[in-house]
Amino acid sequence: MDLVVRRARLTGGAEPVDLAVQDGRIALLAPSLDVRGRVELDADGRLVTPSLVEPHIHLDAVLTVGQPRYNQSGSLFEGIEIWAERVRSLTHEDVKHRAHQALRWMLVHGVTHVRTHVDVCDPSLTALRALLEVKREVAPTVQVQIVAFPQQGIYSFPDGERLVQEAVRLGADVVGGIPHYEWTREYGERDVKFALKLAAEQGLLADLHCDETDDDQSRFLEVLCAETIRLGLQGRVTASHTTAMHSYNNAYAYRLLRWIRHAGVHFITNPLDNAVLQGRFDAYPVRRGYTRIKELLANGINVAVGHDSIMDPWYPLGVGDPLQAAFVLVHYGHMSGYEEIRELVRMVTTRAARCLGLEDHRIEPGAPANFVVFDATSEFDAIRTLAPRRWVVAGGRVVARTDPSRSFVRLDGGEEEVTFHPHGHR
Ligand code: FE2
């Protein structure tokens, strides 16, 4: 075997198993395998999950915070304005350098699949061309999907339609949109219809920034669902953000859930960015602008967690760890129930994979060998301690490792090691 991982715990509380990898795929999975690996890892009862999938990031904007100025209001719209200024000084090498750095941060955190939006409101498509190169350079270790994302609008930016089409022609994998940012309601509807028609014609997936506002009158999700059904794109369309859903009246929101179910639309919620961007125009009480995650999940709708930004005009922090986004959602989305915390791990692994169209992203014989060994024994502790990813395996190879730090205190003269696991060893 190419690789054998001993004593891997596939979910909290389960008995550990051995996992053998051959030719990039999981070959065997059993309590005590009588095989040898060219590489052997001892998970020693640690949690092993499918690798993390980042379903929503803006790699063209990462690591630009403060350039040319900081976002003082903290609003989404000031962020978009600052980005429009930064875009003017964007160069090919600048984008590539920052994207490569962020992808390395993410890989250390177990991310082997990434969907990045790239702003195509640029007549020279500089960022797109750079990210297409980055995509080739990091493959196959990290598999990147690129979304042609019209940050300034398809109908509110000169030549918007042609730029999205050109991005697809150059190699973008997914069609994007931003209906709520278009100048008028009518432009917004056209934005959705154009994006989905292009996706249908080209056989591509679609992922639109949809209703990322606190405006309860922003109702493009219904257009997205209707067009998805009309064009037969069920399962191939993602609605990102949908924060306005938080503010919809309940009668409307529950009516909408029916169309979402019929359309099979995936949802990506981005708790880091939307925790800081939404509610900025409210007097008290201040709304928390996240989508109706629990209701969507309860209706059998796929919801994933995205990071969205790492150190850019919209969100100044971040180290590229999807677990931080999940941790914030525990609080922000009232997802502190025991099963909800376990669900959050699926929302950054298998659920995120479904948004990207990866149906075999799981740990079972025959599946691609993309997985992580957490320095924790359960999903609960992985989130609680933001556990380091001890090893990251992509395509059957160990592609990242983290040596966890150790902490000590001196209370009674002697030195005593402290771990953050109340029941002793890990
Ligand atoms: Fe976004």
Q: Model confidence over 51-110: pLDDT tens digits? A: 999 999 999 999 999 999 999 988 888 998 898 899 889 999 999 999 999 999 999 999
Q: Model confidence over 376-393: pLDDT tens digits? A: 999 999 999 999 999 999
pLDDT for the residue 413 = 85
pLDDT for the residue 181 = 95
With pLDDT > 70 as the criterion, what percentage of the chain qualifies? 99
Rg (CA), the chain: 22
44 Cα: distance to centroid of ligand 1 (angstroms): 38
344 Cα: distance to centroid of ligand 1 (angstroms): 19
416 Cα: distance to centroid of ligand 1 (angstroms): 45
Residue 423 has pLDDT above 80, yes or no: no
Q: Model confidence over 258-291: pLDDT tens digits? A: 999 999 999 999 999 999 999 988 999 999 889 9
What string of DSSP letters covers 226-281? HHHHHTT-TTSEEEEE-GGGGGS-HHHHHHHHHHHHHHT-EEEE-HHHHHHHTTTT
Q: How many CA atoms lie within 13 A of 1 on its CB side?
A: 23
Residue 194 has pLDDT above 90, yes or no: yes
Q: Model confidence over 123-170: pLDDT tens digits? A: 999 999 999 999 999 999 999 999 999 999 999 999 999 999 999 999
pLDDT for the residue 12 = 86
Residue that wins the pLDDT comparison between 80 and 219: 219
268 Cα: distance to centroid of ligand 1 (angstroms): 9
Cβ atoms < 10 Å from Cβ of 343: 18
Q: Burial letters for 95-126: b for 16+ Cβ neighbours within 10 Å, e otherwise?
A: bbebbeebbebbbbbbbbbbbbbbbbbbeebb
208 Cα: distance to centroid of ligand 1 (angstroms): 9
Q: Is the pTM of this model over 0.75?
A: yes
The answer to whether 3-50+362-407 and 52-355 have equal CATH topology is: no
Out of 54, 78, 182, 212, pick the active-site residue.
Answer: 212
Find, among 182, 188, 175, 126, the residue nearest to 152 by Cα: 182
166 catalytic residue (yes or no): no
19 Cα: distance to centroid of ligand 1 (angstroms): 36
pLDDT for the residue 424 = 56
Give yes or no for a contact between 3 and 37, defined as CB atoms under 8 angstroms apart.
yes
CATH for 3-50+362-407, options being 1.10.357.10, 3.40.50.300, 2.60.120.560, 2.30.40.10 = 2.30.40.10
Sequence-distant (≥ 6) Cβ neighbours of residue 136 within 8 angstroms: none
> Mean pLDDT over all residues of the chain?
96
According to DSSP, residue 292 is labeled -
200 Cα: distance to centroid of ligand 1 (angstroms): 22
Sequence-distant (≥ 6) Cβ neighbours of residue 176 within 8 angstroms: 117, 120, 147, 148, 149, 150, 164, 195, 206, 207, 208, 209
The predicted model gives 237-249 an average pLDDT of: 97
User: Cα separations (Å) of 314 from 64, 89, 133, 176, 286?
Assistant: 10, 18, 25, 19, 19
Give yes or no for a contact between 21 and 394, defined as CB atoms under 8 angstroms apart.
no
Place domain 52-355 in its CATH homologous superfamily. Metal-dependent hydrolases (3.20.20.140)
Q: How many CA atoms lie within 13 A of 327 on its CB side?
A: 12
**Residue type for position 285:** P
Burial class of residue 28, CB neighbours in 10 A (0-12, 13-18, 19+): middle
At 425, list the tokens.
């060893």
pLDDT for the residue 289 = 83
pLDDT for the residue 237 = 98
What string of DSSP letters covers 194-219? HHHHHHHHHT-EEEEEE--SS-TT--
CA–CA dist 232, 263 (Å, integer): 8
Domains of the chain, residue spans:
3-50+362-407, 52-355
**Residue type for position 48:** V
